Amino acid sequence: MIKCVDKGKWTCIGRSGKPKQAFSNDTKAIERAKEINNKNKDGLTKLVAYKCTNCFQYHLLTVNKNK
């Protein structure tokens, strides 16, 4: 992950080069992850929320499910 300044705010950039969506608290991030996980029915991956050590906000991370 890369961090940079975008319009005066610290922004975390993902591998794709796009800024990561930041959530102010964990409940909003978890709710968004649940929404996306319910739409994605492949069963191989899921989104989880984590607190970023660079910007101290919450982002979503894709992880593999253990079967």
Residue 6: predicted pLDDT: 56
Burial 39-62 (b: 16+ CB within 10 A, else e): eeeeeeebbebeebeebebbbbee
Q: Is 40 part of any domain?
A: yes
The count of structural domains within the chain is 1
Instruction: Dig out the tokens for 21 from the structure.
Output: 């969506």
Walking along the chain (67 residues) 10 residues at a time, the average pLDDT comes out as: 57 82 92 92 88 89 83
For residue 4, the model assigns a pLDDT of 55
Query: Which SS3 state, helix, strand or coil, does residue 37 take?
Result: helix
Q: From the CB of residue 3, how many other CB atoms can be counted at a distance below 10 Å? A: 14
pLDDT for 27 equals 94
Q: Which distant-in-sequence residues (6+ apart) come within 8 Å of 10 by Cβ?
A: 3, 4, 54, 55
Per-residue pLDDT, 20: 87
Domain coverage including residue 61: 21-67
Residue 17: predicted pLDDT: 80
Residue at 10 is within a domain = no
48 within domain boundaries: yes
